[in-house]
Amino acid sequence: MAASWGSKSAGCIRWPEELASRRRPGCAELPTLFAWLRPCRTPALQTIIVALLLWALAFAEWNWRDTMCCRLLRIVPILVLFPIEILNAQTSTFRAGTQEVQVDVSVTDKRGLFQRDLSESDFRLRVDGKEREITGFSVENTAAAGKRGQRYVALVFEVEHPGLREEVMQFVDKFAAPDVYMAVYARIGREMKLRLPFTSDPQRLKTALREMPAVALTGDVFASDPALVSGYPPHALPLLVRVSGVAAELAPIHGRKALLLFSYTMMGNRSPGAKYNGEVSKTISDCVAADVSVYAFAGGRRAGTSEGDYYDSAPDTASDKGGTADQTGDLAIHTGGRYMPPGKYELDSYLNSGREDGGGYYRLTFKPAEEAGGNPCHKLKVAVDRAGLDVRARDSYCASAPMSDHGLNAAQRVLQARLMSGKAGDIGGSMQLSWFYAARGEGLVDISMAIDWAAIKLKGKQGAEINVAGVALREDDSVAARFPDKVAVDFETAEVRDDAMKAPHRYAAQVALEPGRYRIRVAAGTGEGAVEIAEGTVQIEGWDGQTLSASGIALGIEDRPVTSVAAELNASSIDGPHALTSRGLETIPMAGAVFPRGRDGMFYFEVYEPRGEGKPVLRMRIVDRATGDEKADSGPASAAEWMRPGNAVIPVALTLPLATLAPGAYRLEVTAGHAGGGDRVLRTADFEVK
């Protein structure tokens, strides 16, 4: 065919040409990982100025010669400790009232080892302070199950010394596996930056490490910034804030996570009888809440041990006189990790106790009650009826259980009444509905809607408030889910808001529903003026979770580089919205299905291959809806380039070749199956060119 499934965006790959030729028109080739994360931007390598060299020389005097990198390869036991199982922050995710809620719970003893002998009767689960019945209970990712669970390990470089990253690359080479996911962070100036999201691909990890700018120790690293440490205890060092930031990014991922911190010693005074310094308390709490254990590798000349140090404290806290303490060590020990202080680099000795830990966790299931309330999010609290154990679980969930008008604000009550009346809106809205599998028997509908500014309440000179009410109706018009929402939008300046108001605002939400056919209506308004209503239908196909299947199709005209550490993980492994991410770029669904003439579009879909049997074969066609004539055909091609080791979800993003199409109504057909025709599934999406 004349049309080509070529790439007009860095998120879309030429099909079926060699994938190595991925590049934007007019852009230089992107061979490095950094370029992969930031398409069409060549990273400027920072010049190592004299001051940095002086600091490096000073570091060399701090006994860095015989450091932990010499024995870094012994760190493999850490991978036995941590099981695995965000992304657009402006996308709300709602779960229908009929859905069950799953809570992953990590229970460890004081040594950080998984407590594997608990039963369902040992657990207590409260929602908004009220005890809730546990309807499902299982033990996940344990050695007893005969299968090692997936692991998350974040490599966090607060500082480095010559040769460290090369030895980390050796570590990656030796222990990379489909079930071991690693991410790379590096401090750039005073900020900790994500260099690579979690991946099990050793080549990408080594590229990220190789291209990582030098992480030098400079004076501004320790300088106090009131804005930076706002909300932290007095005298808290910026490093603690950076660690808390990484922990917050890891928090949505289910299960325990390991944060390998390449750092320096942080010395501080500890009060008599205190478990740890007050300065480090918030960061410890942040890590515990995020289910993150810190493994700290400190460098520099050891400042010495004084009475009050965590590793040399008095047996009787009443006789503890306090003194100088190593906050780096406190951070590691009190988050369930391990600490290797300067001058002591015997990893095996303190990691040996974790060799037998299967890294398991418990999965609790409960059915949420149909509580009324305008806010669909609820507080969770999990406890265990046994003393001396550390219990970690997420502290909230969001649901869209049917609710009365009692819990809605005034604007939402007006919108809800208008929706249920079946009447059209004062303003006709455009909306696209696509769907994906969140789990077996559970679909996730992605909603992308264009909201006219006449339905948005302006606040001050730089703000806006969007009130939304949504409903999913079954074929018999019974309510499957309601999802009220309120979104605050803040702009940097009034001029930025004025510029944004030249086009409709894109609203995004996701609703979890069982397989079936639904009519979805979404209303937006201020409660006093015009009401905008958009309506569409969606069919979520059933799936047993055992055979090959595919999601619906999301159409778009733009993408963006991913910024979340969990961007490439399965939706079932993380809390929060399901991002449409493929090969480092997120497809942004358009609000509707009308493309401008003369411009290519893009589309995203997922293939699910739970059995790992071979490489699925894909084929894409564009046909004229009026005549049935074929306008483009990709031909059969393998999905191998989108497959990720050990991952049953295959995310695919491609260019939709529309530039040469005449105005009209068309249908995109996507077929996925095995060679020979087995497990063949067909998905379609209608669109127009105007």
Query: Domain holding 277: CATH number?
Result: 3.40.50.410
Residues 507 and 467 grouped into a single domain: yes
For residue 277, what pLDDT band results from cuts at 50, 70 and 90? low
pLDDT at position 281 over 70: yes
Mean pLDDT of 601-623: 91
For residue 549, what pLDDT band results from cuts at 50, 70 and 90? very high
Q: What angle do CA 637, 631, 537 make, to 5 degrees?
A: 85
Residues 284 and 252 grouped into a single domain: yes
CATH of the domain at 109: 2.60.40
pLDDT at position 500 over 70: yes
Q: Full-prediction pTM beyond 0.75?
A: no
Mean pLDDT of 63-69: 35
pLDDT at position 667 over 50: yes
Q: What is the pLDDT of residue 324?
A: 66
Comparing 606 with 66, the larger pLDDT belongs to: 606
Comparing 39 with 542, the larger pLDDT belongs to: 542
Mean pLDDT of 560-584: 80
Cite the beta strand spans of 72-206 per DSSP E. 92-95, 101-108, 123-127, 130-131, 136-140, 151-157, 180-188, 191-199
Residues 292 and 318 grouped into a single domain: yes
Mean pLDDT of 246-275: 78
Q: What is the pLDDT of residue 272?
A: 62
pLDDT at position 231 over 70: no
**Virtual torsion, Cα 331, 334, 336, 339, nearest 10 deg:** 50
Is 40 part of any domain?
no
613 phi and psi, to 5 degrees? -90, 95
Q: What is the pLDDT of residue 345?
A: 42
Residues 377 and 445 grouped into a single domain: no
Residues 416 and 527 grouped into a single domain: yes
pLDDT at position 254 over 70: yes
Residues 309 and 432 grouped into a single domain: no
* Least confident segment among 76-80, 119-123, 329-333, 651-655: 76-80
pLDDT tens column, 47-56: 333 333 333 3
Q: What is the pLDDT of residue 296?
A: 84
Residues 517 and 615 grouped into a single domain: no
For residue 24, what pLDDT band results from cuts at 50, 70 and 90? very low
- Where a domain ends, among 542, 572, 588? 542
Q: What is the pLDDT of residue 188?
A: 87
Is 48 part of any domain?
no
Q: What is the pLDDT of residue 450?
A: 95
Q: Pick from 296-300, 447-451, 458-462 the range whose average pLDDT is largest.
A: 447-451
Angstrom distance (rounded) from CA 19 to CA 17: 6
pLDDT at position 215 over 60: yes
Q: Which domain holds residue 571?
A: 1-31+544-690
Residues 561 and 534 grouped into a single domain: no
Q: What angle do CA 578, 582, 585 make, to 5 degrees?
A: 90
Is the peptide bond preceding residue 213 cis, with omega within 30 degrees of 0?
A: no
Mean pLDDT of 68-82: 34
Is 55 part of any domain?
no
Comparing 238 with 78, the larger pLDDT belongs to: 238
Residues 219 and 284 grouped into a single domain: yes
Instruction: Burial-class residue 598 by CB neighbours within 10 Å (0-12, 13-18, 19+).
Output: exposed
Structural domains in the chain (count): 4
Q: What is the pLDDT of residue 398?
A: 61
Q: What angle do CA 530, 531, 532 make, to 5 degrees?
A: 120
Residues 379 and 524 grouped into a single domain: no
Mean pLDDT of 432-450: 91
Mean pLDDT of 578-589: 88
Angstrom distance (rounded) from CA 332 to CA 294: 5
Is 52 part of any domain?
no
Mean pLDDT of 558-584: 81
**Could you write out the DSSP letters of every residue in 396-416?**
EEE-B----GGGS-HHHHHHH
Comparing 289 with 299, the larger pLDDT belongs to: 289
Is 485 part of any domain?
yes
Is 440 part of any domain?
yes
Residues 300 and 157 grouped into a single domain: yes
| Mean pLDDT for the chain overall | 75
Residues 600 and 470 grouped into a single domain: no
Mean pLDDT of 233-241: 70
